[in-house]
A and B are shown apart, each in its own frame.
Chain A
Amino acid sequence: MAMAEAVARAGKESFRTGVIAVKCGMTAIWDKWGARVPMTVLWVNDNHVVQVKTEETDGHFALQIGAGQRKPKQLTKPELGHFRAAGVPLKQHLAEFPVTEDALLPLGTELSVRHFRPGQYVDIAGITTGKGFQGGMKRWGFAGMPASHGASLSHRSLGSTGGRQDPGKVFKGKKMAGHMGAVRRTVKNVWIYKIEPERDLIWVRGQVPGHKGNFVYIRDAFYKKPDFSVVPFPTYAPDEDDDLSALVADFGEVDPFLEE
């Protein structure tokens, strides 16, 4: 198969595709040293490659991945045609991941959780929880003003917004109250603890942007690149007799409590 040939062709500059997952919720586990580790559970729900973008056709190399399920009546005719052209089931969410040319995958390839390995670092992007219109203290971390000692009607206000006649204006980008949240943010260098191929789950340490049910985009960490001799490149090639048991990362050999 073409994908079997593509495996282990990775160079130093190669960048693989990412994966779309659903944030299921948070929990916590005890590691082998007895410390409490917060965990986020991410569910990789039916990811397929829906479109392959190349330099000749679109000007850059990218893969459009689809996730989830959808009924035909919930999609418009152009959207139905888009999925029909790829020959994939109908998807709820589409996202594009820029890749290098050697990491392109054929149309309709299924991406599973085994695309990643426990112990790897990833960047997770998602739309953060919306907070609405918020003041300067919450939005920008301003200190506010004293609660007493004569401060009149301005305990949480911004204070001064600039000079006087020079410059005679408020600079653009002045931090002020406004809409907060509901923007795309990336959490970097998140450590993968556990991968469950049977239930399509990835456990990561720490927090991930957004609320439960949010679609998040998991990609290899940019500043802690994975080792492609361990991590499958360009993606995991499934086999008939695959071991579907969970893979768990090790927390290290040094007891963090006993070191002085």
Chain B
Amino acid sequence: MASSCIRQMATLSLSSRVTAAPKALKVVGLSSPSLTPAVKPFLKQSCDPLNASFQAALPLKAGGRDKFIVFAQAVTTTPETEAEADAPTVTEASEDAPVAAPKSKKLMKNVKHIMQSLQEDALKAANEVKVIPDIRPGDVIQLRVEVPENKRRVSLLRGIVISRHNAGINTTFRIRRVIAGVGVEMVFPLYSPNIKEIKVVDKRKVRRAKLFYLRDKIARMSSC
């Protein structure tokens, strides 16, 4: 019963005229001392339900009303009331306030946006230079890698991709192969300029994103 009364009050406040009697809003059982005295001043304004804009509690300026109304109510925006509301704030700004700050986002939001856009730029630049195939765990790939430490010789490496770690331009992948009876894993950054060519030779059906279980399996599973 209380909830329906509140709804009635809300609709009444939206579409009520000056003549809408506060009597209708008196509800038995709803004790709210701020309600009855506060409703009267608001109802003096002509209400237009279509243009009603909800504003948080505003101290009323004109007419010497110094009651601070605490709850949110529908307040109309007639030209007179708007002028009253705007006029005092404008004069305050010109007299006391210093140079107004431009609207800015929070610091960390800007910082994250900067790093994100730098990653996007780096990826775009890298993709223009070289076409990088889509590498997924389970692919058997063949790499031509230029090793700077080894007098820049280009070596041919082969293996099964056991993991892919996504980090924008710093994306890395691991390949595993059994060479001469020894299991060897190698990690490469995907966009490294030292990788001259990547070729996907075979695709194996796997049901995992990371194939670290191959380390415990027999050598035949990792040889390719």
Interface residues of A (CB under 8 A from B): 22-25, 27-30, 33-36, 41, 43, 45, 68-72, 80-81, 83-84, 87-90, 92, 199, 201, 212-213, 257-258
Residues of A within 8 A of B99 (CB): 83-84, 87-90
Q: A27-B115, A30-B192 are in contact. Are A257 and B152 (CB under 8 A)?
A: yes
Residue on A nearest B169 in the bound complex, by CB: A27
**What count of chain B residues pass the 8 Å CB interface test?**
27
Mind listing 10 A-B residue pairs with CB under 8 Å? A27-B119, A34-B192, A41-B114, A43-B114, A45-B110, A69-B102, A72-B97, A83-B99, A87-B99, A89-B102
Are B104 and A213 in contact, with the CB atoms below 8 A?
A: no
- A80 contacts across to B, CB distance below 8 A: 97-98
Q: Shortest Cβ distance from A137 into chain B, in angstroms?
A: 30
Q: B111 on the interface (CB 8 Å rule)?
A: yes
Decide yes or no whether B197 CB sits under 8 A from chain A.
no
B193 near A90 with CB under 8 A, answer no
The answer to whether B148 and A34 touch across the interface, beta carbons within 8 angstroms, is yes
CB under 8 Å from chain A, chain B span 138-166: 146, 148-149, 151-152
Say how far A212's CB is from chain B's closest CB, in angstroms: 6
Q: Would A25 and B111 count as touching, CB distance under 8 A?
A: yes
Known: A30-B192, A84-B99, A89-B102. A68 touches B152 (CB 8 A): no
B101 touches A43 (CB 8 A): no
A257: nearest chain-B partner, CB-CB: B148
Q: How far is the CA of A36 from the CA of B191 in the complex (A)?
A: 12
Chain B residues in the interface with A (C-beta under 8 A): 97-102, 104, 107-108, 110-111, 114-115, 118-119, 122, 146, 148-149, 151-152, 169-170, 189, 192-194
Closest chain B residue to A79, Cβ basis: B98
Alpha-carbon distance A34/B192, docked complex (angstroms): 8
Contact A257 B115 (CB under 8 A): no
The answer to whether B108 touches A212, judged by C-beta atoms less than 8 angstroms apart, is yes
Contacts of B194 in A (CB 8 A): 30, 34
Docked CA distance A164–B192 (Å): 60
Contact B107 A68 (CB under 8 A): yes
Residues of A within 8 A of B111 (CB): 22-25, 43, 212-213
Report A222 CB to chain B, min CB distance, Å.
28
**Min CB–CB distance B149 → chain A (angstroms):** 6
Whether A90 and B98, one on each chain, are in contact in the complex, defined by CB atoms closer than 8 angstroms, is yes
Min CB gap A18→B, angstroms = 20
Chain B residues contacting A29 (CB-CB under 8 Å) are 122
A71 to B100, CA, bound (A): 8
Residues of B within 8 A of A89 (CB): 99-102
- Pick the contact of A69: B104, B118, B189, B193 (CB < 8 A): B104
Q: Is the CB of B98 within 8 A of A258?
A: no
List the B side residues contacting A201 at CB < 8 Å. Answer: 114
Query: Residue of B at shortest CB range from A77?
Result: B96
Q: Are A34 and B146 in contact (CB under 8 A)?
A: yes
Please report the C-alpha to C-alpha distance between residue A35 and residue B122 in the assembled complex, in whole angstroms: 17
Q: Which residues of B contact A33 (CB under 8 A)?
A: 148
CB pair A258–B101 under 8 Å, yes or no, is: no
Q: Which of A81, A83, A213 contacts B108 (CB 8 A)?
A: A213
Min CB distance B109 to A, Å, is 10
Contact B107 A22 (CB under 8 A): yes
B26 to chain A, nearest CB (A): 40
Bound together, the chains give a CA A191 to CA B119 distance in angstroms of 22
Q: Once bound together, how far apart are the Cα atoms of A199 and B114, in whole Å?
A: 9
B146 to A27, Cβ gap below 8 A? no
CA distance A41 to B113 in the complex (A): 12
Q: How far is the CB of A244 from chain B (nearest CB, A)?
A: 15
Shortest distance between the CB of A235 and any CB in chain B (Å): 21
Q: How far is the CA of A25 from the CA of B113 in the complex (A)?
A: 11
Name the A residues within 8 Å of B114 (CB-CB).
Answer: 24-25, 41, 43, 199, 201
Q: Nearest 4 A-B pairs (CB), nearest first?
A: A84-B98, A257-B148, A69-B104, A25-B115
CA distance in complex: A45, B98 (Å): 20
**Is A41's CB under 8 angstroms from B118's CB?**
yes
Residues of B within 8 A of A22 (CB): 107, 111
Partner of A27, one of B98, B102, B170: B170
